[in-house]
Structure formats: structure tokens, C-alpha cells
Amino acid sequence: MANYHDIRYNFAIGSGADVGVMKLIKTLTASSSGTIDFVDGTSDVVLDSTYRTYIIRYINAHGSANANLTIQFNAAGQSGFNETMTTTFFRALHNEDDTAASVGYVTGDDIAQGTGYQRLAQTGNDNDQHVSGEVWLFNPSNTTFVTHFIGRGVEAHGSDIAADCYVAGYVNATAAVDEVSFKMDSGDIDSGTFKLYGIA
Amino acid sequence: MADYTAIKYNVPFSKAGSLKLITTFTSDGSDATATFASGVDSTYKEYLFIFNSIHPETNGVYFQVNFRDGSTNYDATKTTTYFRAYHDEGDTATSLEYTTGGDLAQATGNQRISDDLGNGNDECCSGYLHLFNPSSTTFVKHFIARSNTYHSSDYSVDVYTAGYCNVTAAIDGVQFAMSSGEIQGGTIQMFGVL
């Protein structure tokens, strides 16, 4: 029988310091939720300088109404999800009856130095309709530069359209960002899973 | 004797994941280049570079990448695409467009992976670049990148770059630089994708 210290692995186990990982920090599950919020220091959420890059994945986010899943941020020490953002939004779409397909910028879904929530993707409220995707948040703890984010989501639109949605922009503030909020722009998030990951 | 299921490890498996951090470049405030001259080999089939808060010395420059294909120079022949979506802070201009000036056709120069970057104190770009199977000596080497730029004229620009190094030699180094001036802030992490 081999001793424990003689066991060999066919993959490299880092010493710890050199292991960079995409670590799951927190999973939140929506249930008729007005908002889904990741708040640093609350309920085991870490959203600070521990990680340089964060990824939030939303999976099967289903609304109580035909609505857009949206996102906003809050800076450390401040209140309210109302950070100033400038963003872009474009999408590719194709409907189920094969009569419409396009790719294009959507001017109504971007933000120019606004403080509202940014659209990620639209979901219908049929039982099988929802949105899924991810948002990358870069270096949110920095207090020198704006904070960039980029996202991509796929929607099962209320008009029976598949749409591939691309959003990007920056929080135009040098304060650290330590809170992220999701909500529907109408009604609740009936169900869905939201996962916050950190990349060291 | 313990059952297999009862074996305890002193390895922090909570840290285990799909990425392994190979090295981190942190700008010292005056870097002509950020060079990853080692660690790009057959260990991983895919490498991921995440760049955070890259700040230029010079206003209106592009953050760029190039690849080494066996010599000492970062000058692999590339054919690439570049498109972007933009929106200005004044809400007067939006577009989704291909940018012919941002791509390469069988050229050896640097490929831009940001748009026209501002050098204001809070201005920078952030994003990622995937490099696929760089050690292959059979196929061309693909890469894809996405970033967001704080444009020198106060636009948010969502930038998409992709292409291939049109060589069958292994790619064994990656270098980032500004199109003019220095990198004066930011970090670039190189990960191997397990």
C-alpha cells in the first residue's frame, strides 16, 4: 500500500499563492424578488479588493411580467443603486417563425451619464421564458479609475424571439463599487439563480 | 485503514477551479511593454489574459497585443477582425460598426484590443483575451478579445477583436503595448485554463 505522501497526481496542485481561480462566492435564488442584491460584507458576500475581477452569472431569470432584467451598482459608503454610467447595448435577434433576423445597436437601451438601471436582456413571462447570461466587473475596488463592466445575455423574448444581447460600459466614478443590484424593470424576478464569482 | 471517502487533504481545494494564475504583470507606471515571455507552452490548451484598469501615458492611443512565433520578436503574421459599439457621455452618438482601420490582413504589427483610449486620470480600459492552443504546430492560432474603453473623447466603447496568427509554429510569448507611449497603470494576469 502506498503511503499518503507517495501519492502522485496527474495534475498540478498550486501552492495556494499561485492558484488563481474562479471561486464561487455567493449564490442567490430569486423567489418573487423585487431585487437581487450582492452587498459586500452581507450574507458572506465578498465584493472588494479580495478579487480583481468578478463575474456574475444569471441563470433562468424569469419575470412576473414581460420585462427587462436590469443591473445597477452602488459605491462604497453611499446609499442607493444610482451610480452614473455610460453604456452601450446591441443585440442579434431571430424570431421563431423565421421572419425577422438582424443585428444592431439599440439606442433606447443604453445610458449616457444616467443613474438608472441598465438593461441586460428581456424576458417574456410565459412559463418557459427567461434570460440567462453573465456580467464581468473589472477592478471594482479601485479608487483611481472608472469601473468597467461587460455583459452578454440571451433572452427568450415575450414576442417569441431569441436575442443575443451585448452590454458594456463604465461606472463613471472613482469610488469603489461594492454592491450590485438586479431587478426587472416591471414586476418581480419570479425565479432564477444569480451566482457571484471572484477571480483572484 | 481509512476508507477512500474519508481521506482528508491539507490542500486548499476551496481554491481549486478552472483557472490557474501563471503570472501577473503590474505596471510600475512607466512600462513600454508588458511581456509574457515564458509560460506560454503546451501545459494548457487555452490561455486567458485579464487586463484591469490599463491606463496610458498618451491620450488617444490603442492598447495592443502581439505574439512571438519562435524568434525573439513579437511579430507573428495575423489576420484579424475588429468591431465596436460606442456611445458618448453627451448622448449624441451611438454606433455598432466594423472598423477597417482596426484590423490586420496578413500583417505583423500589433493588433489593437482597445479603442482610442483617454489618458485622463480616471480613464482606462479593461477586458480579456483568450489564446487557443498556442503550442500547436499544425494549425493557425486563434485568439478572441473583448474590452471596454474609456475613449479619449468621453465615449464608452465595447470592443471586439478576433483573428489568428497565420503560422504553424508554436506561439511561445505574448506582448502588450500602447500604440504610442507607455503603459502607466493597470494589471494583466495570465491564466491557464484547466
| pLDDT value, residue B17 | 52
Instruction: Check: CB of residue B88 under 8 Å from CB of residue B115.
Output: no
ipTM: 0.88
Cβ of B124 within 8 Å of Cβ of A148? The answer is yes
pLDDT in tens, B47-101: 999 999 999 999 999 999 999 999 999 999 999 999 999 999 999 999 999 999 9
User: Cell match 455598432: residue?
Assistant: B96
Burial of B105 by CB count in 10 Å (0-12 exposed, 13-18 middle, 19+ buried)? exposed
DSSP-derived secondary structure letter, B7: -
pLDDT in tens, B145-164: 999 999 999 999 999 999 99
As a whole-number percent, the residues of chain B with pLDDT over 90 amount to 90
Our CA-based measurement puts residue A149 at a distance from the nearest CA of chain B, in whole angstroms, of 7
The segments of chain A whose pLDDT lies below 70 read 1-20
DSSP-derived secondary structure letter, A77: T
pLDDT at B3 over 70: no
Instruction: Check: CB of residue A83 under 8 Å from CB of residue A166.
Output: no
pLDDT in tens, A141-163: 999 999 999 999 999 998 999 99
> Average pLDDT, stretch B12-27?
76
What is the full DSSP assignment across A101-114? EEEEE-GGG--EEE
Taking the whole predicted model, whether its pTM rises above 0.80 is answered as: yes
Q: Give the span between the Cα atoms of B143 and B165, in whole angstroms.
A: 8
Cβ of B187 within 8 Å of Cβ of A16? The answer is no
Mutation target for B interface from A57, A83, A107, A146: give the one with most B CBs within 10 A: A146
Residue B18 identity (one-letter amino acid): S
Instruction: Check: CB of residue B55 under 8 Å from CB of residue B123.
Output: yes
Q: Residue B89: its chain A contacts at CB < 8 A? A: 86, 112-113, 172
pLDDT in tens, B107-116: 999 999 999 9
For residue A118, give the nearest of A175, A56, A160 by alpha carbon.
Answer: A56
Instruction: Check: CB of residue B174 under 8 Å from CB of residue B64.
Output: no
Residue A161 identity (one-letter amino acid): I
> Average pLDDT, stretch B32-38?
98
